[in-house]
Chain A
Amino acid sequence: MSLLKYESQLREPLVDGNKDYHQVTEDIIRPIEMKPSRLWYIGFYISVALLLFGVYSVYREVTYGIGQWNVNKTIGWGWDITNFVWWVGIGHAVTLISEILLLFREGWRTGVNRAAEAMTFFAVMCAGQFPIWHMGRVWMAFFVLPYPNSRGPLWVNFNSPLLWDVFAISTYFTVSLLFWYSGLLPDLATVRDRAKTKFRKMFYGVASFGWSGSTKHWQRHESLSLVLAGLSTPLVLSVHTIVSFDFATSIVPGWHTTIFPPYFVAGAIFSGFAMVQTLMIVVRKVLNLQDYITLGHIEAMNKVIVLTGSIVGCAYLTELFIAWYGQNPYEWYAFKENRANLFSPYGWSYWLMMFCNVVSPQLFWSRKLRRNITVTFFMSIIVNIGMWFERFVIIVTSVYRDYLPSSWSTYYSPSIWEIGFYLGTFGLFFTCFFLFAKYFPVIAVAEIKAILKTSGENYKVKMTDIEKADAEKFYIEEVEHAH
């Protein structure tokens, strides 16, 4: 039977426990229908508090100007652009999880992809805040759009990487929203059809767009998700490439390198997987979804972390080598004195980055540590810190000493409103994520059902007999054939 697609017994089950279709629905949708736990309220209120602090920080910045931040003449891009790149990177990786793995037909994506898509969307939302508010006169933000205006019309500069960024980020935001929401429709319909209260019936009725589960609709839905995944994969690569162009097309020593696009993309995957780990470890525990986000899922993601961590490490060393080999005195100075010299003002951040991103993920060569939840959680935080410092190192250590020593900067440390803005985006991200986890199915219910009979634990057990029978039949045929 074509339905009972054979899957090797060597592969771990992706869904643990004795499940049938209804049980899957129950397990994933029950948290939505219950009152949230005390832990949820605590987390939610902390997030909202952070968000409000962020709103106030931004209010200060808009009212009194960029002077509220400690960025100065030499370090024009400080925490804000660091945070921008960091958030975008997180967004990218989680898109890669859901899309590249869909194209590769990796079954294990089904456990994490829905939450990952939501994270993409929220992370891009957070990332977008930084360049927008960094404009200073934010009420002029629409100047970046090429619209017919009364100033000529004076158009935007299509040759500028900063404008490419505008197009890249807004396209990415739109496409990730569409991908996420179109995937959610069938699951929202599942919630709608189970709803008991008036609010849920109305809310999920509106949100599910009247999805019925018709075969024709599923056929189109499959085609749509496949094409969107196919479009998003090069999109993600292009967006992070364009983000790296913001630096690479300039002539600042330390930024002007051709290695940036692949290096940024690898770094993005690395940090994004770490972020997914951080959140999913919490989510599976709080919402009781250990059967769907298994140790196998966590291990698979840790393998990606050690791979991309090593790619990133390789990129750091290549960059260093080329700076020396290229014998451009300015570039070599930027690398040798501004970064690698531990006793230079920002040397500590370079070595912190090296330790967090290159050394520490090597722990994951050990299978035992890959499957250890505490270690994974701890490591995912380390990697996130490391990747934040990577962007900080790239941005600040390249600009704080420019070509003219008399304008070398004094030591840059962020003001409270800069930090507040960053914390505010955490608030935004987690407020959205808490609401998502409360009101939407965090795991793609329909997709889990679709793989249940090939990768569910109880079905795999049944398959063992089929496999044995097959092997015996094969053996008998072989023997007969030989005679």
Chain B
Amino acid sequence: MAGGIKKFVVGSFDDEKVLFPAVKNVRKAGYKIHDVYTPFPVHGLDHAMGIRETSLHTAGFIYAITGTTTALTFMSWVFTKDWPLNIGGKPNFALPAWIPITFELTVLFSAVGMVLTFCYLCNLAPFVKKHHFHPRATDDLFVMAIECTDKTNDAEVQAFLQSAGAQEINVQMAETGWWIGRYHKEQKLYKEEKGY
């Protein structure tokens, strides 16, 4: 799935203490931060970048009550409508005895649903390949990618990043989406691979 090829100015920082003011200044200067890639979750970075809170946990809650309802309706239907069994003379609608299974299905639905949603939202799956701006973004560098439009003067952005404390700065043409691919082959741009 092609997200389209865009031009980015990429700066990498080696300390989150430098990164935070840089994020602030870049936003103030009116540049559009495409993303910041970090080797670990840097707390507060999402707020600094102005990303809204995730509502993944709300999705989790919805999956959870789906699980609860599924379990309860199914067991009630089986034991009161479809095939009522006399088990030790106890009532057919044996709610207390169904609590364990209801709870397990609640957790199961919620966990599976949330992980699938997470993978869907973040485009994560086996054989998915993306453009990575810097191989050390998963090691020790904080990599900021600034999106360029037609009007952006990338030399200016580079100078700006330099003054903000970035270590390595370069300009990259990159596919923003993901595509099916494997990592042992040389990473090629979508354009080069397809010839357009």
Which residues of A does B touch, CB under 8 Å? Answer: 1-4, 20-22, 25, 146, 152-155, 157-159, 161, 163-164, 167-168, 171, 174-175, 178-179, 182, 185-186, 189-190, 192-195, 198-199, 201-202, 204-207, 209-224, 226-228, 231-232, 234-235, 238, 242, 245, 446-447, 449-450
Contact = CB atoms under 8 A, between A and B. Distances in A.
A21 B54 contact: no
Interface string B123-151: 11111111010011111100100000000
A215 B138 contact: no
B115 to A, nearest CB: 5
A449 B142 CA distance: 13
Interface of B: 16-17, 20, 35-46, 49, 51, 53-54, 56-57, 60, 74-75, 78-79, 82-83, 85, 87, 90, 94, 97-98, 100-101, 103-105, 107-108, 110-112, 114-115, 118-119, 121-130, 132, 135-140, 143, 178, 182-184
A220 B107 contact: no
Contacts of A446: 39-41
A216 B111 CA distance: 20
A198 B184 CA distance: 5
Given A158-B98, A193-B135, A202 B183 contact: yes
Contacts of A146: 74, 78
Contacts of B119: 209
B20 A3 contact: yes
A174 B113 CA distance: 12
Given A210-B125, A215-B36, A2 B178 contact: no
9 contacts: A2-B44, A152-B83, A167-B101, A212-B130, A215-B35, A215-B37, A215-B46, A219-B46, A450-B42
B89 to A, nearest CB: 12
| Residue of A189, A190, A201, A220 ringed by the most chain B CB atoms within 10 A | A220
Contact of B123 (A154, A163, A210, A228): A210
Contacts of A220: 54, 56, 118, 121-122
Nearest to A5: B43
Interface centre among A1, A4, A182 (most CB of B within 10 A): A182
Contacts of A449: 39-40
Contacts of B126: 206-207, 209
A3 B85 CA distance: 61
B40 A193 contact: no
Binding site secondary structure of chain A: helix
Contacts of B35: 214-216
B137 A215 contact: no
B132 A168 contact: no
A22 B140 contact: yes
A171 B105 contact: yes
B111 A228 contact: yes
A154 B101 contact: no
A212 B74 CA distance: 41
Contact of B112 (A174, A185, A202, A211): A174
Given A152-B83, A202-B184, A210-B130, A228 B44 contact: no
Given A206-B127, A222-B41, A212 B137 contact: yes
Contact of B183 (A152, A154, A192): A192
A90 B71 CA distance: 28
A202 B51 contact: no
Contacts of B136: 193
A176 to B, nearest CB: 10
Contacts of B38: 213, 215, 218
Contacts of B123: 210
B104 A238 contact: yes
A446 B53 CA distance: 21
A22 B139 contact: yes
Nearest to B78: A155
Given A212-B132, A223-B56, A238-B100, A185 B124 contact: yes
Given A2-B44, A164-B104, 4 more contacts: A3-B20, A210-B125, A219-B51, A224-B115
A402 B177 CA distance: 67
Contacts of A228: 111, 114-115
A306 to B, nearest CB: 31
B183 A205 contact: yes
A158 B73 CA distance: 13
